[in-house]
Amino acid sequence: MQEKIKSLLKKGILLSPDALDTETNLLEERLAQTPEKPLVFENKFLSSSLPIKKDQRTKKVALIEIYEDKSTKTTIKDFVNLYNTRFLLLQSILRQRQELQAATTIRKVQTAQNNEQITTIAMVVDIKVTKNNNLFFTLEDQTGQIKAVVNKSNKELFEVAKETTNDEVIGISGTKSDSIFFINSITIPDIPLTKEIKKSPLDEAAIFISDLHIGSKAFLKEPFEKFIDWLCGKAGTEAQKETVKKIKYLFILGDVVDGIGVYPNQEKDLEIKDIFEQYSIFSEHIKKIPKHINIIISPGNHDSLRIAEPQPPLPKELTPELYNLENVYFVSNPSIIKIGTTANFSGFEVLIYHGFSFPYYADTIESIRLKGGLDNTENIMTYLLKKRHLAPTHGSSQYQLGYPKDPLVITKVPDFFVSGHIHKATVKNYKNVTLINSSCWIAQTEYQENRGIVPHPARVIYIDLKTREPKILNFSEK
């Protein structure tokens, strides 16, 4: 089915306005009327089934964008809508760039005079290397397709073009000669240089963990229990106990259990082969955490949910005891939440994404691969922030159709972009956005070794929200 849809896309799926629903057509009209303003989509699938917490009413933790389950029948129309809403959202972001405010449609590019300077915004359909080692692009918008070339002699532009991936949306400027467009500049959505670095007025901290994989024989039970004791003030020096008192937020970023049947022959790696028992043990650990710590839990590809993104929050059936706790928040993957709001401070927006698409970009983007690939996950996260999409290339992740917009577009610039999946502990700042890839609580398995994953186990990433200073704490040390 994916290959069939892929072939439809390559034939110009954006060129099928008859397949769009009424909402998308209206959005296109709005964009044409006010191109300088970013589009705002109403998310009809924000979860209403999540329990309302006391802290949510006081805006200590606010669930901004949470995707609930969507299991209704989907059609090619939903696929068309996904790509059209993606195009419109990213076109809207790009139009805010001064050099693209006069961007025209591909239809007008096709009728332009030879050697006329022209600018447009388009989705990348395909990229090929010519026999002379130039890059040959097929680009489209909702009015047509063009062929475009980046010449290898323009070394700076060529390096930018090599970073381009199928299905992303870019701005281009250049000249037309007959039926070929010669590109002389490429603009990507990226995030603005004006993004401020927020700091809380309160002396608070947030910590980030991921990939517990409870149920695996390789689960690091002793270090994890040591971590829980530390959170409870039962371990560490007096100075460390004072540090713990500042923690008001704990993020658990997916793969809380190892799951069942996630990969071939997984049963030989499991100590617990009952999925409900795996989640029960997870719940027992979480219930020990002090109630003044707000716990945000998102799913990953090992959790007992669909693998297609967005993944809905973990269902109540798996963790019934945790759903009754006022300090526990179940969110989707991806999701956006806000923490730390006060009367005089707008709070921090946190973009949560488990990271299923990361291996694809570690393998296929040359600059990321040459800089260590999965060993340097921060390069992947930076790349996706620049593209303003969590999985821009078809096939880099599985996705669930039927939502009113593409849920993986990064429409809002977050203060924190946090992830897991790769079992590394890294922190980086990119244009005042803190990028966090969280550690795991599982030793290296044969499956991980075969995939080239060398974990940084039992690390906790600690962020002082008043200073934005990070620390990486190692609980595997004796």
Model-level pTM? 0.88
Is residue 341 pLDDT above 70, yes or no?
yes
CATH topology assigned to domain 205-474: Purple Acid Phosphatase; chain A, domain 2 (3.60.21)
- pLDDT confidence of residue 71: 65
Q: Where in the chain is the domain with CATH 2.40.50.140?
A: 1-34+75-188
- pLDDT confidence of residue 51: 41
DSSP type of residue 409:
B
Q: Which of 188, 186, 9 is nearest to 84 (CA)?
A: 9
Is residue 313 pLDDT above 90, yes or no?
yes
Question: Under 8 Å CB-to-CB from 131, ≥6 apart: which residues?
Answer: none
Evaluate whether 349 touches 64 at the Cβ level (below 8 Å). yes
Instruction: Give residue-wise pLDDT tens across range 126-152.
Output: 999 999 999 999 999 999 999 999 999
How many angstroms separate the Cα of 77 from the Cα of each of 19, 265, 327? Answer: 5, 37, 40
Is residue 40 pLDDT above 70, yes or no?
no
Kindly give the pairing relationship between strand 433-437 and strand 416-419: parallel
- pLDDT confidence of residue 311: 96
Is residue 4 pLDDT above 70, yes or no?
no
Q: By mean pLDDT, which of 102-111, 237-246, 422-431 is the weakest? A: 237-246
- pLDDT confidence of residue 74: 79
Evaluate whether 225 touches 282 at the Cβ level (below 8 Å). no
- pLDDT confidence of residue 14: 63
- pLDDT confidence of residue 54: 42
The alpha carbon dihedral of 395, 418, 194, 160 has a sign of negative
Band of pLDDT at residue 55, cut at 50, 70 and 90 = very low
Whats the size of the chain, residue-wise? 478
Instruction: Give residue-wise pLDDT tens across range 151-208.
Output: 999 999 999 999 999 999 999 999 988 889 999 999 999 999 888 999 999 999 999 9
Average pLDDT, integer, range 392-418: 94
Which amino acid is it at 260? I
Is residue 209 pLDDT above 80, yes or no?
yes
- What is the per-residue burial (b if ≥16 Cβ within 10 Å, else e) of 418-431? bbbbbbbbbbbebe
Q: Where in the chain is the domain with CATH 3.60.21.50?
A: 205-474
CATH number of 1-34+75-188: 2.40.50.140, 3.30.420.40, 3.30.460.10, 3.30.420.140? Answer: 2.40.50.140
Instruction: Give residue-wise pLDDT tens across range 374-387.
Output: 999 999 999 999 99
- pLDDT confidence of residue 352: 98
- pLDDT confidence of residue 230: 94
Instruction: Give residue-wise pLDDT tens across range 252-284.
Output: 999 999 999 998 889 999 999 999 999 999 999
Which amino acid is it at 40? V
Q: By mean pLDDT, which of 32-41, 106-115, 309-318, 411-420 is the weakest? A: 32-41
Is residue 36 pLDDT above 70, yes or no?
no
Gyration radius of the chain's alpha carbons = 23
Is residue 17 pLDDT above 50, yes or no?
no
What is the percent of the chain where pLDDT is above 70? 86
At residue 425's C-alpha, the angle toward residues 321 and 220, to 5°, is 50
- pLDDT confidence of residue 52: 40
Average pLDDT, integer, range 88-109: 94
Q: By mean pLDDT, which of 137-151, 287-301, 408-422, 434-448 is the weakest? A: 434-448
Average of per-residue pLDDT values in the chain? 87
